[in-house]
Structure 1
Amino acid sequence: MKIGFSSRTAVSACALCAAGVLTLGPAAAALPAGTDPGAPGGPGEPRVSAPRPALLYRPGTQVRPHRGAPEVPDVSARSWLVADARTGEILAASDAHRRLPPASTLKTLFALTVLPALPGGVRHRVTEEELSGIGAGSSLVGVVEGQTYRVSDLWRGVFLNSGNDAVHVLAALNGGWRTTAARMQAKARALGALDTHVRSPDGYDTPGQVSSAYDLAVFGRAGLRNADFARYCATVDAQFPAGDGRSYGIRNTNRLLTGADGVEPYPGLIGIKNGYTTEAGNTLVSAARQGGRTLVVTVMNPRSGGGHAVYEEARALLDWGFAAAGRVDPVGSLDALRPRPWLLHTADAADDDGRAR
C-alpha cells in the first residue's frame, strides 16, 4: 500500500434550504475562535427550514438550477460536493454521503482536533517510540529521532508534505495514537459528520476507515475558521529543520495551489488538503475565494484522467460554483446534521414521560 500525493450527471429535485452564516475571508482572515456557525440565535441561525438530511443520501447528482443556470460539469469522481463556505449551503453534490477511504484529506479532521491543544511555539525532542508504526510507503517530511522541533514546524510538515511522521509525533503529544483517533471521532460527530470512521489519524489505508465528500467539506469549512489551520493550508513553501541550525525547503503538494507539474494554479485558491492512497485513489478538499464568495469543493477518487484529474475536476466544479451563484437553489446544508446544543439541553430537561420540566 502506497500513500502519497498526487459521475455522470443525473439531476434530481430536492427541497430548498438555507444554512447558517459563516463569514470567511482570505485564509489569513479566519473567523475568531469560538464563533459557532450552528449556534441557535447566533450568526448560524437557519433563515429558513433546513432540508431533511435524507435528500443528500440519494444516488446521483443533486442540483436545483434556475432557468439559464450553467450545467453541472461532467466529472468522473465517485463522489463530490460544492458548497458555499459562508452559509454552508450545498449548491450541488453527487453521492455526497457515499463512504469512501479519505486518504490524507482525513488530516483536516486531525488538525481540527489537535491544533487547539498544541501551541505552535512549543519545542519537542522526538523519540524513537513516537516514530514507530508508520505505515509502509507513507509520505514523510523527514522528522528525525533525537532532534528538537517546534510544533509549528511539525504542522507545516503535515499540511505541506502530508508527513505521516509529523502526524505520529503530534498524536503522541496529544495523548497517543488511539486517544487521538477517539478524539477525532468525537470531533467528527460534534460537527455532524456521521459518515466518518477514524482508524488511523494520518489517513493511511486501514480496514473500516471511511469518510465522505459531505464530511470532508464539513471539516474543510470548519478548518477555515481556525487562523492556524487557514494559514498552514494556504502555505506554498516553507523551511523544515534539518539539524545543526540547517534547514531544507518543502513545498505544498496541492498542485491546484502551487501550479506544480503542469497543473495551472486556481485563481483565489486558499487550500485545503489533497491526498492519495492505493485504496482511496486521489482525494481533494479545496477552497477558493472570488468576488467576495468562498466555495468549498470535495472530489473523491476520479475514475479517469490520470493523477491530475482530481485537480482538474475540482477546478471545473469551482468554476461552476462561482458561475452558478444565485442561479441555483441549495440542495442541502453542511450544518444539517450538526447537533444543536439547545436540543440536547431540552432533552436533558425532560421528565421520564417526555414532558419538559
Structure 2
Amino acid sequence: MFYLRWLSLALVMILLFPFQVLASDSSLNLHSEAVILLDAKSGQVLYEKNSKVKMYPASITKIITGIMAIESGRLDEEATTSKRARWAEGTRIYLAQDEKKPLHDLVYGLMMNSGNDAAIVIAEHLGGTVENFAEQMNAFVNEKIGNNESNFVNPHGLFAENHYTTAYDMAMIARYAMKNPMFREIVSTKRRVWHGAEWESHLVNHNKLLWRYDGATGIKNGYVTQSGNTLVSSATRGGMDLIVVALKAQGSEKVYADTIQLFDYAFEQFDTRRLFSKGKRWVAEDGKAWEAIEDVFLTVKKGDSISYKVQDNGDVLAATGGKKQMITGKLVGIEDKMAESTLSLGPKEEARSVEESSERSSQLFLLGITGLLFFILAGAWMWWRKASDKSKKAS
C-alpha cells in the first residue's frame, strides 16, 4: 500500500506536466488513393495521403477552365458552338452547332452540369483552338499558382495519357479559384434555369455535397474509367474555410464519404486564427514598425496557444503545439510611431516570442521530468527501507 501511494503521487506529477499529443490520424478510414485536406485561409496542409503522386483528374480539370474564363474579362462575349463542341463525348449541356451563348452562361453549364461541349466552346473562344487553350492552361497554373507537377492537354478532363495532376496541385488551384467571388457563386449554385436552342431545362449541380453537407460551398466532381471518381470540395464553418481533394475512389459514394470524413476531422480538431489583419500596423518588441499587406492566418489544434516572432525580412515565424512554421511575404517595414504595440491572439492568450515560448516549454518539461523521477526514486528507496526493516525484525 505504501508503494502504491508513491506510484499514485508519481501519476499526479505526470498529469501536472502533460505531454502534448495531437489527435491520431489513424482513425481516418479513406478509400481514395490520393487525398489532401487544406485550410484555404492559412494554406496549411492538415492531412495528406499520396498528395504529390500523379493522377488522372477527369472533370475537376474544369476548375481551371472556369477560373480562366472568369478572369478573362470577356464573360459578356458570345461564343459560337463549333462542330467539335457539338459532338463532344461524355456529359453535355446539349449545345446546338452554331448556337451562340454568352461566356458567362457557358461557365455555369461547365461547372454545374459538367458540360464537355461548354468546355470546348470556352477553349476555342479564348484560345482559338482547344490545343492552344491547353497550353494557356499550363501557363496559367504555373504563373498564378506555381504548380509544377501537372500537365493539361484539354479543357474538360476526358482521358489522355499526358493529362495528369496531383491532389496537392488541385488543392492549390482550388484555393486560388475560390478567392474569386464569381467563381464561388457559380460552384455553390444548386439549380439554374437553362435556355438552349435544343435544351430547355434546369442545370442541376452534379456536386452532391451541396445537398449533403452543412457548410459545403463547392466545387467539382469528376469521373472517367482511368481516373475513378474524383472530387474537389470546399466547406465553411465558424470562420474556417477548408478544401479537400480526393482522387481515384472506386465509387462515387466512397469519394463523398472520404471528403465528409476529412471535413469532420478538420472542423472537430482545428481552428483558424488570424494573426494580422490586412493594413494593420504593429510595433515589434525591438521597436520596428510593420504593416500587414494581407491577412495572416495560422491553423492550430483546438486549445493550442500561439507564439510568434517577426523576422528582419517581414516573414513571421509562428510556433504552436511544439511545431514551428514560417509565414512568408506578409509584412512590410514602415516608419510609423503610431502603430499599435500589442497584438491580441485570442481571449486570455499572451503573445510571446517563439524563443520565449520554446524556452518556457522546455523549462516546464524538464521540471516535470525531474520531479517525476525524484518521486519515483524516493518512493522506491522508502519502500526498500521499509521492506529491509521488516526482514531484520523477522530474522
Over the matched positions of the two proteins, sequence identity in percent amounts to 25
Provide Cα deviations, 1:123-180, integer angstroms capped at 9, x if missing partner: 2343335535x33xx1111111132212121111101111000000000111221111
Q: In structure 2, which of residues 167, 174, 177 is the aligned counterpart of residue 223 of structure 1? A: 177
Match of residue 319, structure 1, among 240, 247, 264? 264
Whether contact under 8 Å (1:89, 1:331) holds in the other structure is no
Question: Aligned match of 1:302 in 249, 264, 277?
Answer: 249
Aligned: 1:111 with 2:63: no
Match of 1:123 among 75, 78, 103: 78
Pick from 96, 106, 112 the counterpart of residue 144 of structure 1.
Answer: 96
What secondary structure does 1:308 align onto? helix
Cα distance in 2 for partners of 1:98, 1:219 equals: 16
- Verify: 1:91 aligned to 2:46, yes or no: yes
Structure 2: distance between partners of 1:147 and 1:238: 19
Alignment partner for residue 239 of structure 1, among 193, 205, 214?
Answer: 193
Aligned equivalents of 2:323, 2:122: Cα separation in 1: 38
Residue 54 of structure 1 is matched in structure 2 by: none
Render the CA deviation track for 1:41-95: whole Å, top value 9, x for unaligned: xxxxxxxxxxxxxxxxxxxxxxxx9525254511021100001000100011011
CA 1:241–1:91: 2 relative to 1, 3 Å: same
Which amino acid counterpart does residue 183 of structure 2 have in structure 1? F
Tell me if the contact between 1:82 and 1:295 (Cα under 8 Å) persists in the aligned partners: yes
Change (3 A) 1:215 1:68: closer
Contact 1:89 1:332 in 2 (8 A): no
Residue type of the alignment partner of 1:200 = N
Aligned residues: 261
TM-score normalized by structure 1?
0.68
Instruction: Please give the alpha-carbon distance, in whole angstroms, between the structure 1 residues aligned to 2:205 and 2:249.
Output: 21
Quote the offset at 1:252 in angstroms: 0.4
* 1:201/1:126 CA distance change after superposition, 3 Å: closer
- Structural mapping, 1:253-272, within 5 Å: 253-258=206-211, 265-272=212-219
Q: Which amino acid aligns with 1:266?
A: Y
**Contact 2:86 2:94 (C-alpha < 8 Å) held by counterparts:** no
Matches within 5 A, 1:269-348: 269-303=216-250, 306-325=251-270, 326-327=300-301
Larger C-alpha radius of gyration, 1 or 2? 2
In the alignment, structure 2 segments of 5+ residues that lack a partner are 1-18, 271-299, 303-320, 330-395
Q: Distance in 1 between matches of 2:85 and 2:209?
A: 32
What is the one-letter code of the residue matched to 2:139? A
What's the offset of the Cα at 1:96? 0.8
Match of 1:183 among 132, 136, 143: 136
Q: Is the 8 A contact 1:91 1:330 kept in 2?
A: no
Of 150, 157, 160 in structure 2, the residue corresponding to residue 203 of structure 1 is 157
Gaps of 5+ in 1: 1-64, 259-264, 340-357
Aligned residue number for residue 194 of structure 1 = 148
| CA distance, structure 1, for counterparts of residue 223 and residue 197 of structure 2 | 29
Q: Distance in 2 between matches of 1:79 and 1:256?
A: 19
Equivalent residue, structure 1, for 2:316: none
Does the CA contact (< 8 Å) of 2:159 and 2:224 recur in 1? yes
Runs of 4+ in structure 1 deviating by more than 3 angstroms, as ranges, are 129-132, 328-333
What CA RMSD, in Å, does the superposition of the two structures yield over aligned residues? 2.7
Contact 1:287 1:296 in 2 (8 A): yes
TM-score normalised by L of structure 2: 0.61
Higher relative CO (CA 8 A, sep ≥ 6), structure 1 or 2?
1
Q: CA deviation at 1:323?
A: 1.3
Pair 1:249-2:202 in alignment: yes
Name the amino acid aligned to 1:243: A
Q: Judging changes above 3 Å, is the alpha-carbon distance between structure 1 residues 232 and 158 closer, same or farther for their aligned structure 2 residues?
A: same
**Closer, same or farther: CA 129–202 of 1 in aligned 2, 3 Å:** closer
Q: Secondary structure at the residue paired with 2:159?
A: coil
CA contact (8 A) 1:141 1:161 kept: yes
- C-alpha deviations, 1:303-351, integer Å up to 9, x for none? 4xx3211111100000001112032869999x99xx9xxxxxxxxxxxx
Q: Decide whether aligned partners of structure 1 residues 221 and 327 sit closer, same or farther in structure 2, where only a CA change above 3 A counts.
A: same
Shift of 1:271: 0.1
- Cα displacement (A) at 1:121: 2.3
Amino acid at match of 2:171: A
Q: Is the 8 A contact 1:90 1:331 kept in 2?
A: no
Mean CA deviation greater in 99-108 or 185-194: 185-194
